[in-house]
Amino acid sequence: MTDREADGVDEALALFGRQPPKRERHRATAWEDARAVAARAGRSGRARIRRAALDQALGQVLAEPLAALTDLPSFDTSAMDGWAVAGPGPWEILGHDSILAGHGEPDILPDGVAVRIATGARVPRGATAVIRSEHSRTDPTGHLHARHAVGHGQDIRPRGQECRSGDQLLPAGSVVSPAVLGLAAAAGYDELPVVVRPRVDILVLGDELLTSGLPHDGLIRDALGPMLGPWLTALGGDVVATRRIGDDAEALFTAVSRSDADVVITTGGTAAGPVDHVHPVLHKAGAELLVDGVKVRPGHPMLLARLSPDKYLVGLPGNPLAAVSGLLTLAEPLLRGLAGRPAPAPRTRGVRDEVHGHPHDTRLVPVVHRSGRAVPLHYNGPAMLRGIAAAEGLAVVPPGGVRPGDPLDILDLPWSSSTEGCFT
């Protein structure tokens, strides 16, 4: 924070009739360090756990390892429609009935005998193989013959082939996908232990914002209100509400102090202008500033504060792309930690075109992926959303910029084709 900005905060503190604190010259946090601070803050709390019915668990995160409650399969099972046979052939066909799935244990099958069996049915004791219907023939004497050599145990899924009771199927922190739901059901679960998603309160600040119609008379449309809720949901939050608050310090303090959410997200008001009230509100609330400005463009004046041991505030800049930068720099690692989600695997791609960098700060630039390269998009100014709306990720451009072919770390967007969909 510059001296001029500090003076602005002091003036804002006067709105509450409070003396400004003595402060040292502020230095913004490096981008990588800011993300690390946010991630540590998210991991520092104790995760809340609930048991969710399978039809309510999609998109949640496993709070405990998923251990099998039974052998899979739980009995020897036929993998095909055909014949269960015992011993070497040819085999005498036993009756006209079939062993069907869903029935109890069939009678023991003597050597030299075959019986019809359906896929998924319990294989009788004594059976040595299952012969597929298309691989068999019968002769006029009522005996079954195999068209190919029959191996011991062929087309039988033995008990415990996939897992044994007690085996760990998935680690804690796994996201519950549709396939995980199927596996859990097969393994005997009716409910899953999942991490409670962190509750998020969004406060959109500013007198100049319209919620409908065309901009006019110095008023502009609120672009962040419609965008932040779905984005934060995709990042693992449970958005409680999106509220709009004018440039009113007391109203902002009341909203922040009365919120029962785990994370409060504010937009705008993080600098030191005459109506930038976030810093003085945090001071009045006794908050601990964990990150106060980040060496990143756009989004330099973002911040992260601890309001109480289990409650945080992420202050996003008011410009739309700068707010997106704040989301992915501070909100994403914080929510990931609070939700118990694992960190995504690092992703790097060579850049197709030269990208100019800031002399000292990291840049986040919208990109698309073409032929294995990251292609920077235009319309990447702090107030612009046109570039990010078409993007598949944000490239992390180091100070000084990069040349064509240089590798860049990529922050994938939740809805891009390279990531799992997580709008749940």
Per-residue model confidence (pLDDT) at position 417: 53
Check whether residue 211 and residue 326 sit in a common domain.
yes
Which residues are within 8 A (CB) of 105 and not within 5 positions of it... i.e. 6 or more apart?
A: 75, 122, 124, 125
**Alpha-carbon gap, residue 98 to 33, rounded angstroms:** 67
Q: How confident is the model at residue 271 (pLDDT cuts 50, 70, 90)?
A: confident
- Choose one of 288, 314, 339: the last residue of a domain: 339
- Choose one of 157, 183, 213: the last residue of a domain: 157
What residues make up the domain containing 356? 348-412
Check whether residue 223 and residue 312 sit in a common domain.
yes
Per-residue model confidence (pLDDT) at position 420: 40
Comparing 211 with 9, which gets the higher pLDDT?
211
pLDDT at 3 over 70: no
Q: Is 423 part of any domain?
A: no
DSSP 74: S
Q: Is 258 part of any domain?
A: yes
Check whether residue 235 and residue 326 sit in a common domain.
yes
| CATH number assigned to the domain comprising residue 373 | 2.40.340
pLDDT at 186 over 60: yes
Q: Write out the two tokens for 158.
A: 């033995």
Among 32-36, 138-142, 219-223, 414-418, the range scoring the smallest mean pLDDT is 414-418
Among 131, 122, 125, CA closest to 75: 122
Check whether residue 258 and residue 326 sit in a common domain.
yes
State pLDDT tens for residues 59-79.
899 999 999 999 999 999 999
Check whether residue 124 and residue 219 sit in a common domain.
no
State pLDDT tens for residues 19-33.
444 444 457 999 999
pLDDT at 11 over 70: no
Among 237, 204, 421, 412, CA closest to 328: 412
Total residue count of the chain as it appears in this document: 424
Instruction: Report the number of distinct structural domains present in the chain.
Output: 4
Check whether residue 314 and residue 353 sit in a common domain.
no
pLDDT at 261 over 90: yes
| CATH number assigned to the domain comprising residue 266 | 3.40.980.10
With H, G, I as helix, E, B as strand and everything else as coil, classify residue 336: helix
Q: How confident is the model at residue 178 (pLDDT cuts 50, 70, 90)?
A: very high
Q: Is 385 part of any domain?
A: yes
Task: Look up the pTM and report it.
Answer: 0.77
**Alpha-carbon gap, residue 424 to 421, rounded angstroms:** 8
DSSP string computed for 224-238 = HHHHHHHHHHHTT-E
Check whether residue 315 and residue 401 sit in a common domain.
no
Check whether residue 272 and residue 323 sit in a common domain.
yes
Per-residue model confidence (pLDDT) at position 22: 44
Q: Is 419 part of any domain?
A: no
Q: Is 191 part of any domain?
A: yes
Check whether residue 215 and residue 329 sit in a common domain.
yes
Identity of the amino acid at 169: L
Check whether residue 300 and residue 369 sit in a common domain.
no
- Choose one of 339, 361, 379: the last residue of a domain: 339
Check whether residue 332 and residue 355 sit in a common domain.
no
Q: Write out the two tokens for 317.
A: 């800049």
| CATH number assigned to the domain comprising residue 171 | 3.90.105.10
Pairing of strands 407-412, 348-351: antiparallel
| CATH number assigned to the domain comprising residue 142 | 2.170.190.11
Q: Is 418 part of any domain?
A: no
pLDDT at 41 over 90: yes
Check whether residue 274 and residue 252 sit in a common domain.
yes
Answer for the pair 364, 327: CB distance below 8 angstroms, yes or no. no
State pLDDT tens for residues 307-323.
999 999 999 998 999 99
Per-residue model confidence (pLDDT) at position 14: 45
DSSP 284: H
Q: Is 390 part of any domain?
A: yes
pLDDT at 418 over 70: no
Q: Is 318 part of any domain?
A: yes
Q: What percent of the chain has pLDDT over 70?
A: 92
Q: How confident is the model at residue 46 (pLDDT cuts 50, 70, 90)?
A: confident
Which residues are within 8 A (CB) of 258 and not within 5 positions of it... i.e. 6 or more apart?
A: none
Residue with tokens 């902002």: 252
